Structure 1
């Protein structure tokens, strides 16, 4: 005995796989990336910036490369 097939009563909603992202789906990661980049470029502004001197030198070197 075969099972009856079920059909959808109405077409799929327009917000399916081709739907648009909400505005915050792009804005939130962009803002967080900018905040983290600022902390990396200016580690002395962070609360726990004491850390390892090798990490400090690496970050200073990266900052010099980025600002060229």
Structure 2
């Protein structure tokens, strides 16, 4: 007994491309991130370190204390 195949709901796209359109933010967000990082590299005086002890370091230290018991 042979199984029936289901036809495609729409024809396959013609040509060599993927046939998908990207939303506007798929190009805008990486471009914005690139420009932001580039400005930080060119002007490192604008990049300020956070004051005080970082919360992540405190959390990791506390986890190590709890595992050591």
Normalised TM-score (structure 2): 0.51
Give the ranges of 4+ consecutive aligned residues of structure 1 lying more than 3 Å apart after TM superposition: none
- With a CA cutoff of 8 Å and minimum separation of 6, indicate the structure with the bigger relative contact order: 1
Q: Which runs of 5+ in 2 are unaligned?
A: 50-69
In the TM superposition, what is the alpha-carbon distance from 1:7 to its structure 2 partner?
1.6
For the pair shown, which has the larger CA radius of gyration, 1 or 2?
2
Q: 2:4, 2:33 → 1: CA distance?
A: 51
Give a deviation string over 1:11-65, Cα, whole Å, max 9, x none: 25x8xx31321111111111110000011111121113xxxxxxxxxxxxxxxxx
Which residue number in structure 1 is paired with residue 43 of structure 2?
42
Q: 2:5, 2:33 → 1: CA distance?
A: 48
Q: Which runs of 5+ in 1 are unaligned?
A: 49-68
Task: Please state whether the residue corresponding to 2:19 is helix, strand or coil.
Answer: coil
Normalised TM-score (structure 1): 0.52
CA RMSD of aligned residues (A): 2.2
Number of aligned residues: 45
